[in-house]
Amino acid sequence: MANPEEGHAPTSVKSGAATVTEAPSKAQTAAAAVKKAPDGGPDPAKVRRRIIWTCIWGFLAANLLMFMRFFFPRALFEPSTICDLGPPSDYLLGVSDRFKQKCRIYVVREPTRIFAIFAKCTHLGCTPDWKPSENKFKCPCHGSGYTPEGINFEGPAPRPMDRAHIEIDSSGRMIADTSRLYSWYKSQGGKDEFEEPGAYIQV
Ligand code: FES
């Protein structure tokens, strides 16, 4: 009787006078093939395990990164629409571009009022430049021209530039707010909001 602990080793059985050596079973052959590649390379089972673990760690890492992104939202930080223009006494008659860069505002002082023009061309939104030598605003994009009051008179701009809400605070400073605009769709017979309270300051 064959010893069961002999494992995969070929088994010898005495049959009469001849000794017959049994070939290893199919399972034993397959197991041997799995352990060692025929060309003596790395163990395929190990390679397979490595690939599986790489996939698992990659998946976990991707999830971790996605989770971490919640702590860094892709928020758009808009600049403040409120602008402190200082006291009215800071301004002489005419157009001031002091707050063009910071607030996108031109402050205009007339004999009896001050208003803040929101420097956004009403054609496609470029920022018109103030040209003191020509006494007008000129849009660098398509050539629209505006009077010192911001009224369009040449080029494709369809209407005057808007004016920002403006008021005097408790300390006597002018505060403008570009989120509250006053418009005048003059060519379409629209209401002239430039005369509304808040569109200018009486001086
Ligand atoms: S954007 Fe100003 S003229 Fe076109």
Reported as a single tens digit per residue, the pLDDT across 74-107 is 777 777 899 999 999 999 999 999 999 999 999 9
pLDDT for residue 9 is more than 50? no
Using the atom order of ligand 1, give the atom closest to the CA of residue 125.
1
Q: Does domain 82-202 have CATH number 3.40.50.10470?
A: no
Residue nearest to atom 3 of ligand 1 (CA): 142
Q: Where are the domains of the chain?
A: 23-72, 82-202
The residue among 20, 178, 183, 200 whose CA lies nearest residue 84 is: 178
CA of 135 to the centre of ligand 1 (A): 18
Does the Cβ of 156 fall within 6 Å of ligand 1?
Answer: yes
- The reply to whether ligand 1 has any atom less than 6 angstroms from the CB of 155 is yes
User: Model-level pTM?
Assistant: 0.65
Query: What pLDDT was estimated at residue 170?
Result: 97
Measured in Å, residue 100 CA sits from the centre of ligand 1 at 17
Q: Among 104, 117, 124, which is best to mutate for testing ligand 1, by the most ligand atoms less than 8 A from CB?
A: 124
Coil, helix or strand for 183? coil
d(CA 177, CA 163): 9
pLDDT in tens, 40-69: 677 888 889 999 999 999 999 999 998 888
pLDDT at residue 154 is higher than 60: yes
Q: Given the CA of residue 155, which atom of ligand 1 is nearest to it?
A: 3
User: What's residue 74's pLDDT?
Assistant: 73
Tally the C-alpha atoms within 13 A of residue 181's C-alpha that lie toward its C-beta.
17
User: What is the tens place of the pLDDT at every residue in 180-194?
Assistant: 999 999 877 778 999
Q: What is the pLDDT of residues 161-171, one digit of tens each?
A: 999 999 999 99
